[in-house]
Structure 1
Amino acid sequence: MRHTNNKIIIIGFLLSAISFSVMAQVAMGKWRTHLSYNNVTQIAQSPNKIFAVSQGALFSVDKQDGSLYFYSKTNGLNGSGITNIEYNPTTQELLIIYSNGNIDALGNNGIINIPDLYNKQMSASKAVHHILFYQKKAYLSCDFGIVVLNLDKKEVADTYYIGPNASQVAVLNTTIHNATIYALSKSTIYQASITEPQLVNYAYWTSGTSWPGTGDFQGIVSFGGKLILQRGGKLYKQENDNSWTPLLVGVNAFNVSNGSLAVFTDNVTYLYDTSFNAKTINNLGTITDAEYDAQNSTYYLAANSSGIISYKQTGSETPVVNYFKPVGPAVNIPWDMTFSGKKLFVVPGGRWASQNFTNGDVMMYEAGVWTNIYAKTIQDKTGHLVNDFMNVAVDPLDNNHFFVSSYGTGLYEFKNNTFANWYNHLNSKLETAVANDPYRYIRLDGAVFDQQGNLFVSNTSAAAGIKILASNGTWSQLTYPAIASKPTLGKILISNQNVNQKWVLSVRSQPGIFVFDDNKTLTDQSDDKAIFLSKFTYPEQDKTGNTIHTSQYPSAVYCIAQDKNGVVWVGTDIGPFLFNNISKVYNDDYTCSRVKIPRADSTNLADYLLVNEHIKAIAIDGANRKWIGTENSGVYLMSANGQQTIQHFTSTNSPLLSDNVLSIAVNPVTGEVFFGTDQGLVSYQSDAADAESAFGNVYAYPNPVRQGYSGVITITGLVENTQVKITDIAGNLVCETVSNGSLATWNGKDANGRKVNTGIYLAICANADGTLSTITKILVIN
C-alpha cells in the first residue's frame, strides 16, 4: 500500500513538471467527418433515440437528455450517402440503406453489414425507396422490384420481379393489409397473398384497376384497419364496403408511427388517430417525416433546415416545442477548399459546360466550429440569385476579409465574415457570357491575391480573360488573344519562384494552360510574356535507349499546384504532368515531364504515375509530399518526387466517404488533410505540416502518454528538417528521427522495438546545421 501511494505521488510530481499545451489535438492517423445536418428529411425511432438522415448523413438524438451522436465510417458504418433508415422493434435494429445498395444493421451489439445487394452485378439502379418490416423479414422497394431480407441470417432471401413476364418494376413502397401485400409503382398497384410461398413467381402477383383518383400513385399504407392511398397529391381511405373516401388534398407525403398517421402538406401537418380524428400542427415549416413516441406522447418531426423538432401538447395547453440541430457545414458539396492559417474555407460550386446552379454558400471551419454564410442572406441584399461559388481568395492580412468567385453570378466580397459587396457587369470590368441574361452568366473562377494585395480572377467567355481588382479598389483587365472568349477558364496560380508569372487553367473545350508574366506592369501589356500550352510535350526513352519527345493533348485540365521546389503539378484526365524550370516555359523547345513508376516485376519496365486517371485535386503538404485526388480511385499520398506511394486511401480501405474526390486542403499548422468528396467532407491527421521559421511553441502530444496507448507520439512546432533525438532522463538515446516540416513522430518504443518504461523522456530538437535547438519533455506511463 505504501509503495502504491509513493508511486502516485511521484507520478503526480512528474505531471506537474510538464507543460500541457495540447488542446483539441487530433491523434495522428485519425479520421474525422464534417457533414452537413441542414436538411433533415427522414427520421426513425428506437425506444431511446430518434435517428435522422440529413443529406446522406446519420445522427441521433437521445430522447431523455437531448444529446447528439453521429454515425459515419469513422465509427463503424460501411458506407456513406444514406438514402433510407427504418427501425425494427422486433430485432431492435436500425436498418440503414446506402445509395449504392449497401446495407447496415445497427443494433445493440454493433453494426452488421449486409452487402448482397451492393455486390449484385446488375445494370438496373439499386436505389431503395421504402422499407417494410413484417415478421422476420424486411421488404425493400427497389427500382427493379422487391428485395426480401432475412433479418435473422442478415442476407437477401428473395428478389421479386413482379411485372408481366417477370419484368422489372420500379416499386415505390409496399404495405400488408388483411394478409395481402401491396406493391405500388407510379402507374400500377400489384398485390398478392402474403402467405403465398411462391411470391418469387410473377404469376402470383396481380394488378387491380378499381383505384380512386387520377395521376401517379404515390404511396399506400394500412392504418386503423383501412387501406390508405396517396394519388395525384390526394389522400384516400378505403371503407368497409371497398369504396373510397377522399381524406385530404395537397398531400406531399405521409407516415404511420405507433398508431398515428402523419400527413404532410406544404404548410400543415395533420395527425390522425386510428379513429381518423385529426389535429394539426402549424407554423413549423416544411415537415417531411414524423415519428410518434406513444410512451411520452411526443411527436418528432423531420423539419428539413430546422433539424428535428419535438412537439408535445397536453389537452389545450400551449405545445412544448424543442429543436435539435447539429452544427456543421451548410451542405455536403465541398467543391473547393482553401486554408488561411488554421481557418478553412469551403464553397459548394461546380460547373462543366454550364453551371450547376448550386446555392452560393460559404462554409468556414475554425477551432472546431463551423460558421456558414447562406446564399439567401446574400440574395436578400442583392435581389439576385447567388449560385456556384468556385473558390475563395483570402486577404493575406485579414482572414475575415475575403472574396468569392462565382461561375455565373459575379464576385462577392466579405468583411468580418459578412457579405459586403457584389461586383458584376455594371460596377466592374467583369463580363457576362449572355448579354440578354447578364446576371446569371458572369462566369468567374480562380480568385487569388498577389503580394501587393491585387485580386486576380479569371473571366470565362470574355474578351479580356483576366480581371484585376487593385488594392486601391480600381478595376483593370488583361486582354490576351490566347484566352479571349475561352469557354471554361479555371484556377489562377501565382508562381512562388516569380510572382509576376501567373498560370491560368483552361479546363475544357480548348483545354490547356495559359502562362503569362506581367513584368510588374499591370497596366502595360507591351512588355508581357505569354504562351498557351495545349500540347504537353515530355521526353522519354524508346526501346533502344534514345531520348524522344512525346506529346499529349489532355481533354481536360482540372487542377494545379506548385510545390516547395517550384515544380508545377497539373492534374488532367490522363494523369499528372510536372513543369520544371518554369522560367523557360515560353521557349519553343520547352518540355514538361511525367513521373515514371518502375513495375514490381523483372521486366525493367515502368508506368507513368496515375496514367489515365482523372486528377481532380492536388495539394502539397509540409514535407513537400503530394496529396492527389482522383475521380474514381480515391486519394494518393506520394513522396516529394512522386516516385513512392506512401498512402492510398479509398472508400473501401478507409473512412474516405467516396472515391470521387473533388478537392483537397492541408491545414498548414496542424497537418490535418481535408478531403472533399461527392459525398461530403472528411479529414485525416497526417504526419507533416508547414515548418516553422524558428523553434517557438514546441510540444508533444498526447502528453502524458498513458498506459494502453498504441498510437504515435507527435512533436510539433519544429523547423524544416529538424533532427529529433529521444532520450531518457539519464541521456540514453532511445530513438532518432527527422521532422516532416513542423511534425516529427515517435512510436513510444526503443531501437529494439520494445515499449519504453514509465518515465520522463526528452525530445532534443535541433535544426540541420545545429544553430537552433530546443527540448520538450514527454511523460510515458506504461
Structure 2
Amino acid sequence: MNGALQIGDVFNFQNKSEYLVNVETSSYEKDKSIWALGEQGLCHFKMENNQVVMLKEPFLANTLNVSDPWNLVIHDNKLYVSNSGPRIGTENQYVRTHISVLDQGDWSVLDVGETPLVNNKHGKYLCSSYNLAFDPDDPNTFYVGTWFEGMYKIKGNECVGHYTHLNSPFQLNWALNVPYVAFDEYKNLWVSSAPYLYMLPREKQSVSTDELTVNDWYQFDYPEIANNKYAKLLIPKHSTAKWVVKGYWGGLIFAFDDKGTYNTTADDKTKSFTSFIDQDNKTFDPSYYTCIAEDNNGQIWIGTSSGPIVITNPNNVFNDNFRCTRIKIARNDGTDNADYLLQNIEITDIFVDGANRKWIGTTESGLYVVSSDGSEILEHFTTENSQLPSNRVTEVVVDPVTGVAYVGTTNGLAAYRSDAVQASEDYSSVYAFPNPVRPDYEGWISVTGLMDNSLVKITDVAGNLFFEGYSNGGQISWDGRDRKGNRVKTGVYLVFASSTTTGKQSGVVTKILVVN
C-alpha cells in the first residue's frame, strides 16, 4: 500500500507500517482516518506528518480465508478447506492456494510459505492445487497435487518434498499437472497425472525427493485414461477394482484390477465405459462423468451430467452381463409411474454419511440428501429455502463424529448439523449433548456414539417412557418433550439402547439431566 487517496488528497507513506501488508481494500472516512483490510486483518489508522498512527490494530475474524472452497476433507477431527486449480468451467491456471483449518470451532490459516519451483510458471507460493491426501500414519503430513508443479509433500506448514518430472514419471508439457492423489489400504500413494496413473509404494515415501528416482515408482499405462488432466480416483474398501473418473467432455469411467502385481499390467483386468446399460437394458449415455463415491455397503455411486447411477455389485464390473442401476422414485399419484433420481441434473459431488445417506451436490439445483437406497429425497437445500450461499455446490463432507455437514459452494462455505454420525462398534462411548439441558435451551438433544440403527428408549428413573426411535448411523436426536409434546420436567432421564443388527442389549448407555 503506497497511500490512501481521496480527490484532492495525496498521502505518501515514508515509513510503512508492518500492519499494512498486501492491503486488498480500504475506506477513507470524513475525519481523514482510514480503514484497511490486508494480510494482517482489518485495521484503523490515520496519517500524521506522513507517519502511520494506528487507531485500532489489525484483528482477524474467526473464519476461513478461502472464498471459493472446492476441496474439503476431515482428518484427525479437523476440517481442511482449500480452493482449486484449473477444473471444469475454468482454466484459470494462476490461482494461489489458500488452506484453512477448522479445529474445535477455531479457524486457522495453513500457510506453507515458499515452495520450490521447477516449471516457473507462477510465483514462489503454492498455486493451482487440488485435493489433500493425508499420510495414514502421520496426521500432520499430507500430499497435494498441482497444475504446474507436480506434487508437494507438506509436513505441518513446511514443504518437505517436491515430486516432479526430475524424480517421478510425471511429464512436463507446459503444465506438470497432478489432479488427484489417494492412499490405498496398504498405504501406497496413487497419483493421477497426464498421461497415466502412477503409484509410489509405502517404503519409497520416506525417501528424500533429492534421492528419489523415476524407477522408484510403478506406472500403469492404460491407454483408456491417457491425458487424464481432470481424473479422479476411487480406491474402494469393499471390492477389488479401482475406479477412475476421466472427465469431463469426452470422458469415461474406467475400472481396473491390478491383482497386486504392480510391476506389470499384463494380468490386469480392465473395462471402460463411455455409456452404461441399466437394469432395464436401456442405454444411459450422459455428456460426461463428474464424481464417484463408495457407500457403506460397498455400492459405487457415480455422478454424471444427467443424474447419478449406482453400481450395486462392483465385483461384477468385468462380466459381460454387467449392468448399472438407475434409481427410480415413485410418483405416488395412484399410478405405477416413477422418475429417475435427479434426472437431467448435473451432479458435482456425492458424499456418504454415517447413516449411508447420500449428500448430492449439483451445479444449479443446490444440495440434495437422499435415503440410503436413493428411493427417497429427504432434504433439498437451495438459496431460496436455506442459508446455502450458492446453488452451485462444489463439495460436501459430513463430520463422522458431530454429524455436521460442510458444504462448499462458489460463494463460500455453509454448515448444517445433521442427525447422522458414523456408527460405533459397541456402546462404550455413548454420550449426550448438551448435557445438562438448561432452562433456556430449546433445541435438539443428541445422543451419539451408538451402534448402527440402534433402538433407543428414553425414560425417567421410574421407568416411564418418553421417547423411542432408531438411530441414524450412530446418533439420534430427542426434542426433550414427552409424547404429548410437553417439555419434560426437571430430572434425570435414562437412555437405553439395543442393536437391531446384532441383537446386543446394553441397558442404560448414558443419562441426561434436564433443568427447568
Same fold (TM > 0.5):
yes
- Preserved contact between residue 271 and residue 279 of structure 1 (Cα < 8 Å): no
- The residue type paired with residue 247 of structure 2 is V
- The residue type paired with residue 197 of structure 2 is I
Structure 1 stretch 531-540 or stretch 304-313: which is displaced more? 304-313
- The residue type paired with residue 438 of structure 2 is R
Q: Which residue number corresponds to residue 589 of structure 1?
A: 321
CA distance in 2, matches of 1:299, 1:353: 42
CA distance in 2, matches of 1:467, 1:601: 51
CA distance in 2, matches of 1:326, 1:300: 19
CA distance in 2, matches of 1:584, 1:318: 70
Q: Which residue number corresponds to residue 482 of structure 1?
A: 224
Q: Which residue number corresponds to residue 351 of structure 1?
A: 87
- The residue type paired with residue 447 of structure 2 is I
- The residue type paired with residue 325 of structure 1 is L
Q: Which residue number corresponds to residue 453 of structure 1?
A: 187
Deviation at 1:360, TM superposition (A): 2.5
Q: Which residue number corresponds to residue 213 of structure 2?
A: none
Q: Unpaired segments of 5 or more residues in structure 2?
A: 205-215
Deviation at 1:676, TM superposition (A): 0.3
Q: Deviations over 1:254-273 (max 9, x none)?
A: xxxxxxxxxxxx6233567x
Deviation at 1:331, TM superposition (A): 2.0
Deviation at 1:368, TM superposition (A): 1.9
CA distance in 2, matches of 1:682, 1:602: 38
Q: What is the DSSP-based 3-state SS (H/G/I as helix, E as strand, rest coil) of the residue aligned with 1:526?
A: coil
CA distance in 2, matches of 1:519, 1:491: 20
The 3 A distance-change label for structure 1 pair 701 and 293 is: farther
CA distance in 1, matches of 2:475, 2:75: 19
Deviation at 1:584, TM superposition (A): 0.8
- Preserved contact between residue 268 and residue 280 of structure 1 (Cα < 8 Å): yes
- Preserved contact between residue 359 and residue 375 of structure 1 (Cα < 8 Å): no
The 3 A distance-change label for structure 1 pair 708 and 309 is: closer
Q: Deviations over 1:437-461 (max 9, x none)?
A: 3xxx12222311011111101113x
- The residue type paired with residue 220 of structure 2 is L
What is the root-mean-square deviation in Å for CA atoms of aligned residues?
Answer: 2.4
Higher radius of gyration, 1 or 2: 1
CA distance in 2, matches of 1:446, 1:588: 30
The question of 1:368 aligning with 2:105 is answered yes
The 3 A distance-change label for structure 1 pair 484 and 425 is: same
Q: What is the DSSP-based 3-state SS (H/G/I as helix, E as strand, rest coil) of the residue aligned with 2:114?
A: helix
Q: Which residue number corresponds to residue 747 of structure 1?
A: 479
- The residue type paired with residue 377 of structure 1 is E
Deviation at 1:516, TM superposition (A): 0.5
Deviation at 1:363, TM superposition (A): 2.7
CA distance in 2, matches of 1:780, 1:456: 51
Q: TM-score, normalised by structure 2?
A: 0.89
Q: Which residue number corresponds to residue 777 of structure 1?
A: 511
Q: Which residue number corresponds to residue 38 of structure 2?
A: 304
- Preserved contact between residue 300 and residue 308 of structure 1 (Cα < 8 Å): no
- Preserved contact between residue 119 and residue 149 of structure 2 (Cα < 8 Å): no
Deviation at 1:430, TM superposition (A): 1.3
The 3 A distance-change label for structure 1 pair 619 and 521 is: same
CA distance in 1, matches of 2:463, 2:260: 55
Deviation at 1:774, TM superposition (A): 4.3
- The residue type paired with residue 29 of structure 2 is Y
Q: What is the DSSP-based 3-state SS (H/G/I as helix, E as strand, rest coil) of the residue aligned with 1:428?
A: coil
CA distance in 2, matches of 1:396, 1:556: 32
Aligned residues, how many? 492
What does 1:482-561 align with in structure 2 at a 5 Å threshold?
482-486=224-228, 488-498=229-239, 500-540=240-280, 549-561=281-293
CA distance in 1, matches of 2:128, 2:9: 47
Q: Which residue number corresponds to residue 208 of structure 2?
A: none
CA distance in 2, matches of 1:556, 1:495: 22
The question of 1:695 aligning with 2:427 is answered yes
- Preserved contact between residue 118 and residue 149 of structure 2 (Cα < 8 Å): no
Q: Which residue number corresponds to residue 207 of structure 2?
A: none
What does 1:40-439 align with in structure 2 at a 5 Å threshold?
267-270=2-5, 279-281=11-13, 283=16, 284-285=20-21, 286=23, 288-292=25-29, 294=31, 299-312=33-46, 319-320=53-54, 322-349=57-84, 350-352=86-88, 355-357=91-93, 358-374=95-111, 377-378=114-115, 385=122, 386-432=126-172, 434=173, 437=174
The 3 A distance-change label for structure 1 pair 380 and 425 is: closer
CA distance in 1, matches of 2:90, 2:271: 26
Deviation at 1:406, TM superposition (A): 1.8
- Preserved contact between residue 575 and residue 609 of structure 1 (Cα < 8 Å): yes
Q: TM-score, normalised by structure 1?
A: 0.60
The 3 A distance-change label for structure 1 pair 317 and 477 is: closer
Q: What is the DSSP-based 3-state SS (H/G/I as helix, E as strand, rest coil) of the residue aligned with 1:583?
A: helix
Deviation at 1:355, TM superposition (A): 3.7
Q: Which residue number corresponds to residue 446 of structure 2?
A: 714
- The residue type paired with residue 333 of structure 1 is D
Q: What is the DSSP-based 3-state SS (H/G/I as helix, E as strand, rest coil) of the residue aligned with 1:319?
A: strand
The 3 A distance-change label for structure 1 pair 290 and 316 is: closer
